[in-house]
Structure 1
Amino acid sequence: MLRKNIVKIILDVSLAITFVLLMNPRVFNGLLFHEVAGLVIGVAVLVHIGLNYQWVVHTVKKIFDRSLSGKTRFSFLLNVLLLLSMTGIIVTGILISKVVFPHLLSGENHALREIHDVFAKLTLLLVGVHIALHWQWIMGVFRKMLKTKEGNWNKKAIVTSVLILALFIGSMQWLATNVKPNEAFKPKFEQKVAQASETFPPPGKFRERPHEEHHGNSHPLLVILGHFTF
């Protein structure tokens, strides 16, 4: 059971970090990462639902049962809203795609981009509420992972966690410094990516909003810290 919970937390943290990175289309040299990672998140969400399948079925069966707690009802509603908002992001993202699905819509569609932006901000808010709602469970899993049954600190687990964190930070720094457009792509594709990156402004550019200037920084670690430390 603990291993399954650890897998859930790793998946959820990965989803949250990736989603935050997607809030800035300039991260990792632009749209190629933005669009591909967005599709990967869609698959990851399905995996997340699969890992919680029993809870979903159990809650649906008892949704009108008075014995079901208010917290569980709220959590279920929150997850439904998250699923709908993520679906909205993916669908609108595919429709305005400039790299992965460049021929679905011809020309610029500012309305769809605005809707995509709204869904993204709504999802970020819902993710924050989701984390707050499950914070005690998250901390409980971490305590079980980092401590032994006797209540002592598990040094092996702590060292492993520190190494994973250091590896993550190091990989983000390396990618931010060294990742370049793949030379294996055909010249036409590279040109298409470059043109799309120029024509795809960061969220909010259509409406000049000074308070969203932080979208201009494309370093992944700064983008992550900018959203998780406020």
Structure 2
Amino acid sequence: MKKNYTKIVLDLMLAITFVLLMNPRVFDGLPFHEIAGLIIGVAILFHIGLNYQWVVNTTKKILDPKLPKKTRFSYLLNVLLLISMVAVIITGILISKVVLPSLAIQGSHTLRELHGLSADATLAFVGLHVGVHWQWVMSICKKAFKSKTGKLRKDVLVSVVLSIAILAGGIQWFSSTTSSNNSFKQEQMQQSGQSSSASTEDTTNTQQGPTQEDFREGKMHGKGGHGGSSNPFLVVLNYFAIWAAIIIPTYYLEKRLLRNKRKSKRLDPQPS
């Protein structure tokens, strides 16, 4: 059971970090975007490790006609999700401007487009993945928040609320600190810069590559960085709403298919 709790907490943290990466203007722009992206890559390997036994067993039985259709679909969905995530990570490395610029392919518009498309595909696959497993998620949450007698476990509830408050406070602090640093840097540039030197500096930056301002604004990201507000709370709410639009119909569609399957089994005549 503790393993299931670990998986849910890890998945939630991955989900929050991933949606923040959907807008590269969040926090300090590309530095956060690229560093957090690499961290997510490591976390995904850990996530696969937690589900290693299921992956191995399902792979062995994938051609078995007795394998449930839901398991087969879930396996295929996980493969597609892994492919899209690998595409995001590899293309991200190849267009890196901050963490791994030595490995980047300069001026590759195709890679930037592929990076954005694979990120959108990953967003959709994650929504489907959660929708298919929503009943399992709710079951684990009920067991976490309720004791065997059915009473609400207040200690767990307090811990979750406190963790969310700390996470929200940390995001807000990081966001406000980044905004203050950016404003301070802009004021310094306005006070010390002159128009002639600024023009020369702009020309030099154009020849040498993207500026730090480009990094912060996310201009170097594929597909223009998806646009929208760079406020981290609004970004999380926006993409969680998109996930909800995928998860809810997926859950109810699966529920209906399961109900029809059970109904057909009851109507089928039993062999004498």
Query: TM-score by structure 2 length?
Result: 0.74
Match of 1:225 in 2: 237
Aligned alpha-carbon RMSD (Å): 2.0
Pick the aligned partner of 1:194 from 212, 218, 240.
Answer: 212
- Pair 1:98-2:97 in alignment: yes
2:81–2:125 CA contact under 8 A, matched in 1: yes
Q: Which residue of 2 aligns with 1:61?
A: 60
Structure 1 residue 107 displacement after superposition:
3.1
SS of residue matched to 1:38: helix
Mapped partners of 2:148, 2:218: distance in 1 = 56
Task: Report the counterpart of residue 76 of structure 2 in structure 1.
Answer: 77
Aligned to 1:205: 224
Cα distance in structure 2, aligned partners of 1:204 and 1:91? 16
Q: Distance in 2 between matches of 1:227 and 1:199?
A: 18
CA contact (8 A) 1:92 1:112 kept: yes
Kindly report which structure 2 residues correspond to 1:60-209, keeping only aligned pairs within 5 A, or say none: 60-105=59-104, 107-179=106-178, 180=181, 194=212, 196-197=214-215, 200-201=219-220, 203-205=222-224
Distance in 1, matches of 2:222 and 2:97, equals: 16
Greater Cα offset, 45-54 or 104-113 = 104-113
Contact 2:114 2:222 in 1 (8 A): no
For the 8 Å contact 2:91–2:112, the answer to whether it is kept is: yes
Q: TM-score, normalised by structure 1?
A: 0.87
Structure 1 residues without counterparts, runs of 5 or longer: 182-190, 207-211
Give, as a single letter, the amino acid of the residue that structure 2 aligns with 1:143: K
Contact 1:26 1:202 in 2 (8 A): no
More helix by share: 2
CA spacing shift, 1:79–1:32, aligned 2, 3 Å: same
> Deviation at 1:195?
5.4
Partner of 1:103: helix, strand, or coil?
Answer: helix
State the Cα distance separating 1:193 from its structure 2 match: 6.6
- 1:228 & 1:113 partners in 2: Cα distance? 24
Q: Which whole-Å CA distance do the structure 2 matches of 1:35 and 1:69 have between them?
A: 39
Secondary structure of the structure 2 residue equivalent to 1:71? helix
Aligned counterpart, 2:32: 33
**Closer, same or farther in 2 for the Cα pair 1:105/1:153, shift >3 Å?**
closer
How many residue pairs end up in the alignment? 213
Whole-angstrom distance in 2 between the partners of 1:23 and 1:126: 14
The aligned amino acid for 2:40 is I
Asked if structure 2 preserves the Cα contact closer than 8 Å seen for 1:202 and 1:216, the reply is no
Q: CA deviation at 1:170?
A: 1.4
Q: CA deviation at 1:216?
A: 3.1
Deviation of 1:66 (Å)? 1.5
| CA shift for structure 1 position 177 | 0.6
Deviation at 1:101, TM superposition (A): 1.2
Distance 1:132 1:14 in 2: 17
Report the CA distance shift for 1:106/1:44 in structure 2 as closer, same or farther (over 3 A). Answer: closer
Please report how far the alpha carbon of residue 148 of structure 1 lies from its aligned counterpart in structure 2 after TM superposition: 0.2
1:106–1:64 distance in 2 versus 1, CA, 3 Å: closer
CA distance in 2 between counterparts of 1:196 and 1:202 reads 10
* Segments of 4+ moved more than 3 angstroms: 201-206
State how far apart, in whole Å, the 1-side matches of 2:104 and 2:164 are.
41
Equivalence for 1:43? 42
SS in 1 for 2:24: coil
- AA of the residue aligned to 2:132: L
Change (3 A) 1:106 1:195: farther
8 A Cα contact 2:29 2:218, kept in partner = no
User: How much has 1:102 moved relative to structure 2?
Assistant: 1.0
